[in-house]
Structure 1
Amino acid sequence: MKHSLAFICLFALAACQEETAEKPQAVTMTATALGHFCQMNMLEHPGPKAQVHLDGLPGAPLFFSQVRDAIAYLRMPEQSHAITAIYVSDMGRAPSWQSPGRDNWIAAEGAVYVLGSGREGGMGAPEVVPFAHTQSAEAFVDLNGGRVVALDDIPDAAVLAPVQQPQVADTEDDDFATRLRALSKERMN
């Protein structure tokens, strides 16, 4: 019985070590990194980024132009592979909002996030801004507003709800409609 218990404990310990060893490392963001949803060059967009590693696809993470989009991906049921790791930009170490860094990745589950700051990410949607340290997040809140939360406390609506884009007047269409009405009136007279 003692040998069986010892074997079970040894097996469980080996499984834990194997699980730890399998977690992929973050990949440097290069000029060839394209956003998963937008298929645009990651380095051309401001704000924090994310990378999602999938089981069976080592060394080829999905990059996201916004952290918001990576969290949405995490919460969608349609994924084809199990997620093995998610990394986000540590904006506390970012050179600037315009240049969030290529290698300042932190594990998403260990980060703290600022919600409701009004800052927009790389694709123009409200961003969920990640930090490695609460103090850095609080300093960001002092300058930009918002509140600090953990990954599990980010509401689905903050990442899954559609983003309202401001209505832009299409003067060309308005002009065309005005000219068309004027022509119609001329024909009737």
Structure 2
Amino acid sequence: MMRATVLGALVAAVLSVLLAGCNQDIAGQPKPPPQEPTATSVAYFCSMGLLEHGGPKGQAFRVGKSEPVWFSSVRDAVAFSMLPGEPQDVVAIYVNDMAKARNWDRPEAGAWVEAHDAWYAIGSDYNAGMGGKEAVPFSDEKAARSFTAAHGGTVMRFNEIPEKYILESDESDVAAEVSAGEATSPGPAVKQ
């Protein structure tokens, strides 16, 4: 019995070291550049054609994969990073940069920002491509604040987005929670 306990502890320790090494290996991986969706790009969660939905999109690159995992909304891309059952070998997540996009429904080619570098308008009156709340990304904080001044919500960074906002569907409770616990307050409107 004692031998099994010691062996189990040894296996757990080795796995812990290996997993820590894997996380360091992922952090050291080069980030591939964002790609543009095509008619054959399929959204990860809904398995529908990506171009069938308007609004900002997302893409994630996994270690050793040349093709991204596509998301029909930014909210889905953020959810992918939060859900424990999803792959943990992601080296980069890109989202449409709405500071560069002139067309909400079809953001222009090249309008991408690394998800962790973006500022997000949370709780605005803009919905995701399939309906429901969206986390609207901007590469520029002033553009995000101008957007929230015009469309409501609050500005947050990627790691500040509440899990409840992304994963739960009751918008009234979440909107109240976001408003009550704002990480940053909206600034004055800025002309774009």
Name the TM-score, length of structure 1 as normaliser. 0.72
Letter in 2 for 1:105: W
Contact 1:29 1:103 in 2 (8 A): no
Letter in 1 for 2:64: G
Runs of 4+ in 1 over 6 A off after TM superposition: none
Q: Distance in 1 between matches of 2:143 and 2:166?
A: 22
- Quote the offset at 1:147 in angstroms: 0.7
Residue 60, structure 1, aligned to residue 75, structure 2: no
Q: Which residue of 2 aligns with 1:37?
A: 45
RMSD: 2.0
The structure 2 residue matched to 1:101, chosen from 104, 108, 123, is 108
- Quote the offset at 1:163 in angstroms: 5.1
Letter in 2 for 1:135: K
Contact 1:51 1:86 in 2 (8 A): yes
Q: Which residue of 2 aligns with 1:129?
A: 136
Q: Distance in 1 between matches of 2:84 and 2:108?
A: 30
* Percentage of pairs with the same residue: 37
Contact 1:30 1:102 in 2 (8 A): no
Larger radius of gyration, structure 1 or 2? Answer: 1
- Quote the offset at 1:103 in angstroms: 2.5
The aligned length equals 147
Deviations 1:78-122 (A, max 9, x none): 124511100000011112212123321110010000000021111
Deviations 1:19-77 (A, max 9, x none): 26x221111222221111112222221111100111132x2111101111111110111
Q: Which residue of 2 aligns with 1:120?
A: 127
Q: Which residue of 2 aligns with 1:49?
A: 57
Name the TM-score, length of structure 2 as normaliser. 0.71
The structure 2 residue matched to 1:82, chosen from 60, 76, 89, is 89
